[in-house]
Amino acid sequence: MREREVLRFLAQRVPNAGDDCAVIPLGRTHLVLTTDMLWRQADLPEGVTAYTIGWRAVAVSFSDVAAMGAKPLGVVLALGAPGFERDFLDQLLQGVLDCCQSVGAPYLGGDLSQHEELTLVSSALGEAKDPVRRSGAKPGELVCVTGQLGRTAAALRLFEQKEYEQANRLFRFVPRAAEGLALAPYATSMIDISDGLARSLYQLGESSRAGFRVRYRDLPVLSETEELAQSERELREMALFTGEDFELLFTLSPSLLREAENAAPFTVIGEVIKEGVWLEDGEKTVHLEDRGYEH
């Protein structure tokens, strides 16, 4: 089975699958819990530093917590490494701690074991009175995105070019924890972009039983990405499909736009429609392909 099929198969066995985190009711509130696995070979390009590895390992989980509109409570990290060199561990842990500080949540410890390939699994916990699901988008609402697209695509290109310093900087994205919390009262649905904008639109659409019309000219693309793309075609690929942007994609009622804009910065990129995912591209409106980054 391919990854997506397997996930669908597994989802049938889990009661509330399909959101960025699992949701657990507790008293008058809800806990959210997520787990993410990173491997050296698949997820960490040549030139990535121990500090960046640590940062990113926990950032991906905090991003899932943010996508639920939840307050991050902390993170644990399971680490498998071929050896335990003090410098490497020290820098990795510093990355973990600094990323935790960037979202204001503690690092809570973890597990450690020796293993051939570097493997990191972070599990982050959060709390939200009313977690934002993927399922609330309704036709007529606006679809919006925080920050800028193409960040990881640009970083990967820079790693290839051995521009390691800039590559590492871009690879260490700051999880949208504050934005997730600030937008939670307005967002009707939310997801973090971990498999590309296109795939994330489809995921939001599937859960909400809705579609989207997005304007290419309104997509906020990172300036580094625009500079690095060698053609217009490649730029589109990087902005729409490469994935792992870890920005928040969400929907809201047009009547709340002004209020939401005061809560956090974001860009309106299109509208929720009844079905299908469409891209307004100059004078044409084309069907956006359902493909993205498979881990």
Total residues contacting a second copy (rule CB under 8 A)?
Answer: 58
Assess 293 for contact with a second copy (CB under 8 A). Answer: no
Subset of 38-67 contacting a second copy (CB under 8 A): 39, 42
253-272 mask for a second copy (x: CB under 8 A)?
--------------------
- Spatial distance between the Cα atoms of 142 and 251, rounded to a whole number of angstroms: 5
Of 4, 80, 6, whose CA–CA distance to 41 is shortest?
80
Phi and psi at residue 212, in whole multiples of 5°?
-140, 150
127-166 mask for a second copy (x: CB under 8 A)?
x---------------------------------------
Q: What angle do CA 178, 180, 186 make, to 5 degrees?
A: 120
Assess 17 for contact with a second copy (CB under 8 A). Answer: yes
Assess 76 for contact with a second copy (CB under 8 A). Answer: yes
Of 163, 144, 160, 174, whose CA–CA distance to 245 is shortest?
174
Is 192 assigned to a binding site?
A: yes
**Segment interacting with a second copy (CB under 8 A) among 31-39, 255-263, 269-277, 285-293:** 31-39
Cβ-based nearer residue to a second copy, 11 or 286:
11
- To a second copy, the closest distance from the beta carbon of 102 in angstroms equals 17
Quick one: which of 46, 82, 85, 290 contacts a second copy (CB under 8 A)? 85
Would you give the distance in Å from CA 182 to the centre of its chain?
A: 17
The number of residues making up the chain comes to 295
List interacting residues with a second copy (CB under 8 A): 1-3, 5-7, 9-11, 13-17, 22, 24, 26-27, 29, 31, 33-37, 39, 42, 73-74, 76-80, 84-86, 89, 93, 97, 106-117, 119, 121, 123, 125, 127, 295
